[in-house]
Amino acid sequence: MTTPGHLMADEIASQPKVLAEVLSSYGEYLTPVLARLRTHDTRAVLLVARGTSDHAALYAKYLIETRLGLPVGLVSTSTYTAYDTKPALEGVVWIAVSQSGGSPDLVASTEAARAGGALTISLTNAETSPLSDATELHLPMLAGDELSVAATKTYTAALLWLWLLVEGWAEGDLSAAAGVPDWVDAAVDLPEVAEVASRYRFVERLVTTSRGFGYPTAREAALKLMETCYLSAHAFSGADLLHGPLAMVDEDRPVVVIAPDGAGGRTLEPVLEQLRTRGADVCLVAPMEVTATSQMRIPLPSGMDERLAPIAQIVPLQQLALQLAVSRHYDPDHPRGLQKVTKTT
């Protein structure tokens, strides 16, 4: 008999190796994509994805806006499918992110975008797929087969690929990512995660929050907790949390705060102050450079660039979802009612 969660556990542990493989192999795939981008008169970027990949796309949005200064949008696929819109997308770079590359709505909307004049790029883990066939350019995640329904290594691989794409497009220094596999390795097996899992074993409602580059991590962590532990997890940016949602926070609803070392972390200081005032049960996920206090803390590796930090930030939260699910006698490898490929149209 196999142990519940063994696939997810193995895939979380494999991430340093997967990321090292991406860093050793990206050149042959990325070079032609960058060459094409440099001949393209880009006025805007559109990103399309579903589920976990949607959070990778949100990360790319922050990267492109801060590094390239281009306007970026997250696509509503029903615009192109349910409403059969014929877009005029000359001057637009369309980036589609999908682990499987098989979601019909992603494929159909990408085909419409290409027909409308967009330069289309796909990032998928599948070697071949309808989505990669639909785009002019393609990048492979190189994560290997992912057998657990809960995506882990494809998420971090997608983040690294998107950083490489944007940093290369900006003609930056790609060697800045050399430390990523070591950061992730340091975040894979933190003893503090077990302490948090024990504290939150019987929690039914939870909030995750961050700002800037940490916000996609908050979104992805909430999704992992929902799909593996069946608890009600709500993700908010720190700015949004200070509006209406703050009213629902009290000592019975834990708040997981992802605080990067950098501008995003500094903007969370008033959020943490408000949470302290309300007596919230706060778990801080942050490097030791972030000196805020909290009831629980999951320490992240020090010295990470804020733009690259999300690749390591999510790893202990993947472990938290795994350990919480197993403690509740669930199998996170096979969440009930979920499949690997989203069949929306």
CATH fold for the domain made of 6-177: Rossmann fold (3.40.50)
Q: What are the distances in angstroms from CA 211 to CA 208, 218, 236, 252, 268? A: 11, 9, 9, 23, 7
Catalytic: which of 61, 153, 224, 340? 340
Tokens of 101: 């590359």
Residue 340 annotated to the active site: yes
Which pLDDT score, from 0 to 100, does residue 168 have? 98
CA angle (16 as vertex; 135, 180 as ends), nearest 5: 80
- Phi first, then psi: what are they for 329, rounded to 5°? 70, 35
Tokens of 154: 């494809």
Q: What are the distances in angstroms from CA 142 to CA 47, 340, 342? A: 20, 17, 20
Which residue bears the tokens 């970027």?
45
Distance between CA atoms of residues 257 and 265, nearest Å: 10
What long-range pairs does 16-19 form, CB within 8 A, spacing at least 24?
Answer: 16/181, 16/182, 16/184, 16/185, 16/188, 17/181, 18/142, 18/143, 18/144, 18/153, 18/156, 18/157, 19/156, 19/157, 19/160, 19/180, 19/181, 19/184, 19/311
Common-topology check for domains 6-177 and 181-327: yes
> Domain-by-domain residue ranges, the chain?
6-177, 181-327
pTM as predicted: 0.95
Distance between CA atoms of residues 241 and 261, nearest Å: 20
Which of 3.40.50.10490, 1.10.760.10, 3.40.50.970, 3.40.50.170 is the CATH number of 181-327?
A: 3.40.50.10490
pLDDT under 50: residue ranges of the chain: none
